[in-house]
């Protein structure tokens, strides 16, 4: 008891009549551009992580956080 092809076609015709083909085409284009931008941003982030790892001579995905150890942290580490 799933949705048949005829039911999908009827829904498509109703949506087309309500919004119009031009508006739906514009909406599809905007959605496509958003997905493309998201993918590019993810690739740029990954490339940035890889370049940082190369500079630090570490495998990609591993990060080193440099900082200063305070006396309280030293006491905790010794306990």
Express each pLDDT in 8-61 by its tens digit: 999 989 988 988 888 888 888 999 999 999 999 988 888 877 777 666 665 555
Question: pTM of whole model > 0.85?
Answer: no
What is the total residue count of the chain? 79
Break the chain down into helix, strand, coil percent, rounded to 5.
75, 0, 25
Give the pLDDT score at 38. Answer: 93
Give the pLDDT score at 25. Answer: 86
60: enclosing H helix or E strand = none
């Amino acid at each position: 008891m799933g949705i048949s092809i005829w039911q999908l076609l009827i829904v498509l015709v109703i949506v087309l009549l309500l919004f119009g083909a031009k508006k739906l085409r514009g909406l599809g284009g905007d959605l496509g551009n958003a997905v493309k931008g998201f993918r590019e941003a993810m690739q740029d982030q990954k490339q940035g992580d890889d370049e940082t790892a190369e500079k630090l001579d570490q495998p990609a995905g591993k990060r080193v956080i440099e900082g200063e150890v305070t006396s309280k942290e030293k006491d905790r580490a010794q306990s």
